[in-house]
């Protein structure tokens, strides 16, 4: 096996050092590394042959690249399934660094001229939320920062469109892979790479309180979303076992610390997977009112997507009744449209094909105008 390092596994700042032994000239190594950085992380070249074909590279420099580095993908695209309903593309990617096959999924979601990428941060997830198929897998591997960045590369290669938004809402709990996720997030803002705004890179957490507190202290610029799903501790414990480790009271205090740390838009987004018979009753609304009274939060209601048949998805009429009842909290409320659910790529459905998720039932597209009055109410609350 070659001892040359994998170029795509290196941090951009490490490329010059890897090339220096071949160039013998630091300035030449730095210049070549600067160009290579763009080829790899802006134009997403996956091989030396592709670089030679797509870019004007002198033969001597090609030899330096090939002698100093292996230019190969870190992930292998095993499957790409595009939904005919909403245009989302569900990608199944295999990690190349393990002798045993490990798979992750990422979902590219087009919206008008924008393209959002839902990234995975782990293979599987250790948190075992009862409404999420990924949690049934358990934790198998943490992804490296370079592998997360390569998910972005495959999305742009397939979609032939620039990714404008990143959400760390795929497989895994981002804050349990804290350092690698943040390294990936900062790399995705690089001006010689993906060039994504820090305000358009979102991390979602199920409530890892020590990591949230650390994040607030370090004052990172990326928005954090908080997966709550019930403001009643007993219900939340049933839906999310993490409640046993980090109780609701401590989570709310960490959310307050996060809000206080924000220099702009000091609001927290509270994600709420709406499950009929579990967390959409009057007592759930009263509990939300008691917990978040006076706090600058936005409620992001996510209609549950079918996974293993344990719960059923709400109908749009049930979602409308629930969100209408939430108005009395005098908080902005929005309803998230979960793309890719028809192809197993919706929120809570990602399993990299290792488990079969149930087909969608109960909701797809909301009837036209069903939320128009709710939208007006949310705008009024926000203002």
pLDDT tens readout for residues 109-125:
998 899 999 999 999 89
Could you give the CA distance from residue 371 to residue 373 in angstroms, rounded to a whole number? 6
Classify 273 as helix, strand or coil: strand
Classify 359 as helix, strand or coil: coil
Catalytic residue from among 89, 118, 129, 347: 347
Q: What is the pTM of this model?
A: 0.89
Q: Of 105, 117, 90, nearest to 196 (Cα)?
A: 117
H/E stretch holding 109: strand 103-111
Q: CB of 152 within 8 A of CB of 163?
A: yes
Task: Tell me how long the chain is.
Answer: 383
Q: CB of 284 within 8 A of CB of 232?
A: yes
pLDDT at 340: 52
**Region class of 338: left (phi > 0), else alpha (psi between -120 and 50), else beta:** beta
Contacts of 168 (CB under 8 A, 6+ apart): 119, 121, 174, 181, 185, 201, 202, 203, 204
Q: CB of 110 within 8 A of CB of 87?
A: yes
Structure tokens at 54: 């797509």
Structure tokens at 294: 């006076």
Residue 118 annotated among the catalytic residues of the structure: no
Residue 381 annotated among the catalytic residues of the structure: no
Radius of gyration, CA atoms only, the chain: 22
Contacts of 25 (CB under 8 A, 6+ apart): none
**For the chain, which ranges sit under pLDDT 50?**
1, 352, 355, 358-366, 370-371, 374-375, 377-383
| DSSP code of residue 200 | G
Q: CB of 193 within 8 A of CB of 11?
A: no
Q: Of 17, 62, 21, nearest to 39 (Cα)?
A: 62
Catalytic residue from among 89, 105, 150, 243: 105
């Amino acid at each position: 096996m070659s001892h040359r390092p994998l170029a795509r596994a290196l941090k951009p700042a490490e490329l010059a050092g890897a090339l220096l032994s071949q160039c013998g000239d630091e300035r030449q190594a730095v210049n070549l590394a600067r160009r290579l950085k763009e080829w790899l992380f802006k134009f997403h070249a996956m091989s030396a042959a592709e670089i030679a074909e797509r870019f004007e590279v002198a033969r001597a420099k090609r030899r330096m690249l090939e002698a100093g580095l292996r230019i190969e993908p870190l992930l292998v695209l095993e499957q790409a399934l595009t939904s005919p309903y909403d245009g989302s593309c569900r990608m199944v990617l295999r990690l190349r660094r393990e002798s045993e096959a490990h798979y992750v999924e990422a979902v590219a979601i087009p919206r008008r001229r924008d393209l959002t990428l839902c990234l995975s941060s782990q293979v599987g997830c250790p948190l075992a939320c009862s409404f999420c198929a990924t949690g049934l897998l358990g934790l198998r591997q943490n992804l490296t920062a370079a592998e997360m960045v390569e998910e972005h590369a495959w999305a742009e290669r397939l979609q032939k469109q620039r990714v404008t938004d990143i959400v760390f809402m795929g497989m895994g709990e981002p804050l349990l892979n804290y350092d690698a996720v943040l390294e990936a997030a900062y790399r995705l803002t690089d001006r010689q790479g993906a060039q994504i705004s820090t305000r358009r890179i979102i991390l979602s957490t199920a409530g890892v309180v020590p990591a949230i507190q650390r994040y607030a202290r370090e004052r990172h610029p990326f928005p954090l979303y908080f997966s709550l799903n019930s403001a009643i501790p007993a219900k939340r414990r049933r839906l999310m076992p993490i409640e046993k480790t980090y109780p609701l009271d401590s989570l709310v205090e960490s959310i307050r610390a996060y809000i206080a740390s924000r220099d702009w838009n000091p609001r927290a987004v509270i994600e709420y997977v709406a499950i009929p018979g579990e967390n959409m009753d009057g007592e759930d609304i009263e509990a939300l009112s008691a917990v978040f009274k006076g706090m600058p939060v936005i409620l992001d209601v996510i209609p549950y997507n079918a996974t293993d048949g344990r719960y059923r998805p709400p109908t749009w009429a049930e979602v409308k009744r629930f969100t209408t009842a939430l108005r009395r909290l005098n908080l902005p409320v929005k309803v998230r449209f979960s793309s890719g659910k028809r192809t197993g790529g919706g929120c809570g459905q990602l399993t990299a094909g290792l488990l079969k998720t149930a087909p969608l039932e109960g909701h797809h597209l909301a009837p036209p105008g069903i939320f128009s009055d709710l939208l007006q109410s949310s705008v009024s609350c926000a203002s």
